[in-house]
Amino acid sequence: MLRKILLPTMFVLLSWGFWVSPDFKMIVAGISIFLFGMLSLEDGFKSFTGGALEKILRNTTDKMWKSLLFGFTTCTLMQSSGLVSLITISFLGAGLIGLVEGIGIVFGANIGTTTGAWLIAGFGLKVHIAAYAMPMLTFGVLLIFQKSKSLKGIGYILTGLGFLLLGIHYMKEGFETISTHISLTDYAMEGFSGILVFALIGVIVTVIMQSSHATLLLLLTALSVHQVTYENALALTIGANLGSTITAVVGSLTSNVIGRRLALSDVLFKITAGSLFILFLYPIINLVDMISSISGIADDNYTLKLAVFHSLFNVSGVILMVPLINHLIRWITMIIPDKKISKIQPLYLNDAAAEFPDTAMEAVRNETLHIWNNAIDILSMAFGFKRDEALLASDLYKVAEAQKQFIAHDIDSIYVKNIRCLYEEVILFINKAGFSWEIEQSDDIHWLRKSNQNITNAINISILMQKNLATYAMSSNQEMKEAYTKIRVEITLLIRKLETIRLETDAEDTVFSLDYLNLLFEEHISDMNKWLAVCIKKESITAEMAASLMNDVSNTTNIYRNLVEMAEMLFVKHYHSMSDAERSIQLNEDDLNEIKEQMKNN
């Protein structure tokens, strides 16, 4: 409801502003161009994700100082702490980094935002930067029209930088023109009430523009032409920092618990630093004056002094919070606790079924089928598909190609809730039966227990694959993306085929189908290994990528074998005691080799 009202209200207010003041148009146009430049810059850097950025992230965050340095560097390059936060949240959701590393990156990104203030205050407001913007826009647009993804990315970065500079130019021109007609300093507020009011304005403006950089730029340009008092500007800076948390908060809404904890850590960081700076603003102003004097900054150069204040805000906040990071994580965990897993209940295991060996055995078998049914959901999810897509989609490759992102789910928690708890109940039920099983039932129970183990093994292996799936399923390296798409589709098609086999009523058809699945998969693995050897030879994938892929081909093989073995024991009733006639229709080694030759010839 609020969103429906907000947009028309903004249109009305902007239209009124355009009507009242032509100079207002130039300021708003500058803000719009600047924000569009930030979007272009983000698009440019996003085009390089899926490769080098992820590799750097994984390899440079094992220590706090490395995490801080990574956050600082990436934010300095991207000039968007929001983008760095969103990328960090996505990696947390995929389990590629831990919460401590994520907090370090976000804290470092906060320090990185200060570089933008220094560039604008020290360079952007003193030269005719529109002259630098034009070549960037020209070359940037030229590169955007190229087919290469890397060239497009560089093009978007150059275009973004060009629009940033052009936006600064128009805002500066607008404020210089409006200063001849009206002085916003007439609305200045002094004292503690003024600090609170202007801090709140800073929060609101930043939330609306979704960028503390844009708010800071607007503030610096206004300050450079004396359209806002220095004291009010400092309060607006505090508010802009507080408002910048909105991007991480919104991005965390679709993340898991650890992603929301990261967003909360950023909020607590900004609130702590903001509260301290509001309470002790006047002593801090004296400290800024002292630092500025030592650094050779003139007493009346308020734009550079604002940059000093902004740096002091973020650096002191990090210095304050890093030693308390373990306490911070404990507080965050208390505020956002792990979700209590509501364990699913068994459908067939009850005291009545345990009365006799035959009914107990059948209850275990049906409960194992119940576990398999839950496993379909989890395995489909683990490999990036919905259940309906896994079982019904006519072309899974098209479904995979149409996906814009690989959604990383908390497979481990879902497994505990829907599989492991049922498996534990099966074991308890068997032990609780309270009598000696007959030989036949004892064998059946053994195979059913083994089927449960196969299902849990397959899911646990898929959990181990989640990091690489999150990294390479949407990789910018086309070979890796195709390879992981093939892995995802092959496992999902196996689930579909096994479910089809489960519904078959003829045991002979079931046995033959399972043997044929094994044959097809051997061919698939052979082709995958040949393709992998070619890619390594051509150097189209890195050694790290090759190692990850080889490991996951092995994992895929283990998942496949576990699921087929499960089906052999669970779907073919009394498989271990099949009659000679039933066994005779199983494919022997000669049969398999003969079919392989026929497949090669075809």
547: CATH: 1.20.58
Name the pLDDT band for 595 (thresholds 50, 70, 90).
very low
Structure tokens given for 509:
């058809």
What region, left, alpha or beta, does residue 343 occupy, with left being phi > 0 and alpha being psi -120 to 50 degrees? beta
Confidence check: pLDDT of 505 > 70: no
pLDDT above 90: percentage of residues in the chain: 6
Is 272 in the same domain as 234?
yes
* Cα-to-chain-centroid distance, residue 490: 25
Do residue 239 and residue 327 come from a single domain?
yes
Note whether residue 183 is domain-resident.
Answer: yes
- Claim to verify: residue 165 and residue 230 sit in the same structural domain: yes
Q: What is the largest CA-CA distance in the chain?
A: 101
Judged against a pLDDT cut of 60, whether residue 160 lies above it is answered with yes
Q: How many angstroms separate the CA atoms of 467 and 452, rounded? A: 25
Candidate from 9-23, 60-74, 403-417 with smallest mean pLDDT: 9-23
The predicted structure's pLDDT at residue 577: 43
> Would you say residue 246 lies in a domain?
yes
Indicate the DSSP class of residue 244: T
- Three-class secondary structure of residue 426 per DSSP: helix
Domain presence at residue 348: no
Tens of pLDDT, residues 324-364: 888 888 888 888 887 665 567 888 787 666 666 666 777 78
If you average pLDDT over residues 459-484, what whole number do you get? 88
Residue 562 and residue 425 share a domain? yes
Phi, psi dihedral angles at 383 (to 5 degrees): -105, 15
412 or 115, higher pLDDT: 412
Angle 336-461-60 from CA coordinates, rounded to 5°: 60
Residue 155 inside a domain? The answer is: yes
Q: How confident is the model at residue 379 (pLDDT cuts 50, 70, 90)?
A: very high
Range of the domain at 564: 353-601
For residues 239 and 517, give the distance between their C-alpha atoms in angstroms, rounded to a whole number. Answer: 62
Q: Are residues 371 and 310 in the same domain?
A: no
Residues 302 and 386 in one domain: no
Buried b (16+ CB within 10 A) or exposed e, 412-445: eebbebbbbbbbebbeebbeebeeebeeebebbb
Q: Give the pLDDT band (50/70/90) at residue 184.
A: low
Residues 405 and 448 grouped into a single domain: yes
342 in any annotated domain: no
Are 193 and 291 in a shared domain?
Answer: yes
Residue 248 has what pLDDT?
A: 63
Mean pLDDT of the chain: 76
pLDDT tens for residues 513-528? 666 676 667 777 777 7
Is position 561 within any domain? yes
Residue 46 CA to residue 55 CA, distance in Å, equals: 14
83 and 141: one domain?
yes
Inside any domain, residue 119: yes
Record the tokens describing residue 554, joined without a space.
């092995």
**The pLDDT of residue 119 is above 50:** yes
Tell me if residue 547 falls in helix, strand or coil: helix
Looking at the 3D structure of the chain, how many domains does it have? Answer: 2
Higher pLDDT, 1 or 33: 33
Question: Residue 497's pLDDT is what?
Answer: 87
Burial of 127 (0-12, 13-18, 19+ CB in 10 A): exposed
In a domain, 341, yes or no: no
Per DSSP (E only), the strands in 164-278 are none
In this structure, are 357 and 319 located in the same domain? no
Q: Are 313 and 357 in a shared domain?
A: no
Residues 73 and 133 in one domain: yes
**Spatial contact of 84 and 74, defined as CB atoms under 8 Å apart:** yes
